[in-house]
Protein backbone atom coordinates (compact mmCIF):
# COMPACT_ATOMS: atom_id res chain seq x y z
CA UNK A 1 0.00 0.00 0.00
CA UNK A 2 2.32 2.80 1.22
CA UNK A 3 6.07 2.77 0.91
CA UNK A 4 7.58 4.29 4.06
CA UNK A 5 10.61 6.48 3.52
CA UNK A 6 11.08 7.23 7.21
CA UNK A 7 9.22 6.96 10.46
CA UNK A 8 10.44 9.38 13.11
CA UNK A 9 8.77 8.35 16.37
CA UNK A 10 8.78 10.88 19.16
CA UNK A 11 6.65 9.59 22.04
CA UNK A 12 6.14 13.02 23.55
CA UNK A 13 5.95 15.08 20.40
CA UNK A 14 4.09 12.95 17.85
CA UNK A 15 5.54 11.49 14.70
CA UNK A 16 6.22 12.03 11.03
CA UNK A 17 5.24 9.59 8.34
CA UNK A 18 6.84 10.18 4.96
CA UNK A 19 5.28 8.28 2.08
CA UNK A 20 6.68 7.82 -1.40
CA UNK A 21 4.27 9.01 -4.06
CA UNK A 22 3.79 7.18 -7.34
CA UNK A 23 6.47 9.21 -9.12
CA UNK A 24 8.98 8.43 -6.37
CA UNK A 25 9.51 12.04 -5.30
CA UNK A 26 7.80 14.06 -2.62
CA UNK A 27 6.00 17.09 -4.04
CA UNK A 28 3.07 17.65 -1.69
CA UNK A 29 2.64 17.41 2.05
CA UNK A 30 -0.22 17.65 4.55
CA UNK A 31 0.52 19.08 8.00
CA UNK A 32 -1.79 18.04 10.86
CA UNK A 33 -1.52 19.88 14.18
CA UNK A 34 -3.62 19.33 17.30
CA UNK A 35 -2.69 19.36 20.97
CA UNK A 36 -5.49 16.90 21.83
CA UNK A 37 -4.16 13.38 21.24
CA UNK A 38 -7.58 11.85 20.57
CA UNK A 39 -8.69 14.53 18.11
CA UNK A 40 -5.27 14.51 16.41
CA UNK A 41 -5.60 10.76 15.85
CA UNK A 42 -9.14 11.27 14.51
CA UNK A 43 -7.97 13.91 12.02
CA UNK A 44 -5.04 11.73 10.92
CA UNK A 45 -7.36 8.76 10.45
CA UNK A 46 -9.78 10.90 8.42
CA UNK A 47 -7.00 12.32 6.22
CA UNK A 48 -5.56 8.85 5.58
CA UNK A 49 -9.01 7.55 4.65
CA UNK A 50 -9.48 10.45 2.24
CA UNK A 51 -6.05 9.89 0.70
CA UNK A 52 -6.78 6.19 0.24
CA UNK A 53 -10.10 6.95 -1.47
CA UNK A 54 -8.35 9.40 -3.81
CA UNK A 55 -5.44 6.98 -4.35
CA UNK A 56 -2.98 9.60 -3.06
CA UNK A 57 0.25 8.80 -1.25
CA UNK A 58 2.02 11.87 0.14
CA UNK A 59 3.84 12.87 3.34
CA UNK A 60 1.93 13.64 6.51
CA UNK A 61 3.65 15.81 9.12
CA UNK A 62 1.87 15.27 12.42
CA UNK A 63 2.52 17.55 15.40
CA UNK A 64 1.03 18.17 18.81
CA UNK A 65 1.83 21.89 18.95
CA UNK A 66 2.43 24.87 16.72
CA UNK A 67 6.07 24.98 17.78
CA UNK A 68 6.55 21.32 16.90
CA UNK A 69 4.84 21.84 13.54
CA UNK A 70 7.25 24.67 12.69
CA UNK A 71 10.19 22.43 13.61
CA UNK A 72 8.91 19.54 11.47
CA UNK A 73 8.09 21.73 8.47
CA UNK A 74 11.48 23.47 8.63
CA UNK A 75 13.24 20.10 8.74
CA UNK A 76 11.08 18.64 5.96
CA UNK A 77 11.35 21.72 3.76
CA UNK A 78 15.12 22.02 4.24
CA UNK A 79 15.56 18.50 2.86
CA UNK A 80 13.33 18.99 -0.17
CA UNK A 81 13.46 22.67 -1.03
CA UNK A 82 10.93 24.86 -2.73
CA UNK A 83 9.39 22.06 -4.83
CA UNK A 84 7.03 21.10 -1.98
CA UNK A 85 3.52 22.53 -1.61
CA UNK A 86 1.63 22.19 1.66
CA UNK A 87 -1.84 21.82 3.10
CA UNK A 88 -2.37 22.57 6.79
CA UNK A 89 -5.10 21.24 9.10
CA UNK A 90 -4.64 22.84 12.51
CA UNK A 91 -6.50 23.14 15.78
CA UNK A 92 -7.39 26.73 16.56
CA UNK A 93 -6.81 26.88 20.28
CA UNK A 94 -3.51 25.37 21.40
CA UNK A 95 -1.05 26.30 24.15
CA UNK A 96 1.86 28.35 22.85
CA UNK A 97 1.38 29.11 19.15
CA UNK A 98 -2.31 29.05 18.26
CA UNK A 99 -3.67 27.81 14.93
CA UNK A 100 -4.03 31.32 13.44
CA UNK A 101 -0.51 32.25 14.62
CA UNK A 102 0.82 29.04 13.09
CA UNK A 103 -0.75 29.93 9.75
CA UNK A 104 0.89 33.37 9.86
CA UNK A 105 4.31 31.87 10.67
CA UNK A 106 4.04 29.14 8.02
CA UNK A 107 3.03 31.67 5.37
CA UNK A 108 6.28 33.56 6.06
CA UNK A 109 8.36 30.36 6.17
CA UNK A 110 6.82 28.74 3.07
CA UNK A 111 5.93 31.89 1.15
CA UNK A 112 3.30 31.00 -1.47
CA UNK A 113 3.61 27.24 -0.97
CA UNK A 114 0.96 26.93 1.77
CA UNK A 115 -1.92 26.34 -0.64
CA UNK A 116 -4.79 25.17 1.59
CA UNK A 117 -5.24 26.21 5.23
CA UNK A 118 -7.90 24.73 7.50
CA UNK A 119 -8.64 25.73 11.08
CA UNK A 120 -10.54 22.92 12.80
CA UNK A 121 -12.00 23.93 16.13
CA UNK A 122 -15.02 23.40 18.33
CA UNK A 123 -14.93 27.14 19.04
CA UNK A 124 -16.78 29.18 16.37
CA UNK A 125 -14.80 32.29 17.39
CA UNK A 126 -12.00 31.02 15.13
CA UNK A 127 -14.22 31.57 12.05
CA UNK A 128 -13.16 35.24 12.02
CA UNK A 129 -9.47 34.29 12.17
CA UNK A 130 -9.98 31.81 9.34
CA UNK A 131 -11.67 34.48 7.19
CA UNK A 132 -8.90 37.01 7.93
CA UNK A 133 -6.18 34.50 6.99
CA UNK A 134 -7.86 33.11 3.88
CA UNK A 135 -8.32 29.78 5.63
CA UNK A 136 -11.26 27.42 5.77
CA UNK A 137 -13.00 26.82 9.09
CA UNK A 138 -14.49 23.48 10.07
CA UNK A 139 -16.19 22.66 13.34
CA UNK A 140 -14.64 19.59 14.88
CA UNK A 141 -15.53 16.92 15.44
CA UNK A 142 -18.88 17.55 13.69
CA UNK A 143 -17.63 18.61 10.24
CA UNK A 144 -14.74 16.19 9.75
CA UNK A 145 -16.17 15.14 6.38
CA UNK A 146 -15.27 18.62 5.11
CA UNK A 147 -11.61 17.56 5.25
CA UNK A 148 -12.30 15.38 2.19
CA UNK A 149 -13.36 18.44 0.21
CA UNK A 150 -10.26 20.39 1.26
CA UNK A 151 -7.93 17.55 0.28
CA UNK A 152 -9.65 17.40 -3.14
CA UNK A 153 -9.23 21.18 -3.43
CA UNK A 154 -5.54 20.90 -2.53
CA UNK A 155 -4.95 18.49 -5.39
CA UNK A 156 -7.10 20.41 -7.84
CA UNK A 157 -4.96 23.53 -7.29
CA UNK A 158 -1.73 21.69 -8.08
Distance of CA 39 to the CA centre of its chain: 13
Mean pLDDT, the chain, whole residue set: 81
Q: Dump pLDDT digits (tens) for 103-134.
A: 999 999 998 889 999 999 989 899 999 999 99
H helix or E strand, kind and range, residue 67 = helix 66-80
Res. 83 pLDDT band, cuts 50 70 90: confident
Residue 77: what pLDDT?
83
pLDDT digits 0-9 by tens, 25-58 = 447 899 999 999 999 999 999 899 988 988 888 8
Phi, psi of 49 (to 5 degrees): -65, -45
To the nearest whole percent, how much of the chain has pLDDT over 90? 50
Average pLDDT rounded to a whole number, residues 54-72: 93
Per-residue pLDDT, 122: 87
pLDDT of the residue at 15:
37
- How far apart CA 70 and CA 73 sit, in angstroms, is 5
Domains of the chain listed by start with CATH number: 4-36+53-157 (3.40.50.2300)
Q: Do residues 102 and 110 make contact, with C-beta atoms less than 8 angstroms apart?
A: no
Amino acid sequence: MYSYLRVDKRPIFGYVLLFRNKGGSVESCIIIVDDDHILRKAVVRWVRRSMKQLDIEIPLLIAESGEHALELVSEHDRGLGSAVEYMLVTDGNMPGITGPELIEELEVLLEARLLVKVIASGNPDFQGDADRLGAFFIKKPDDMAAIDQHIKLFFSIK
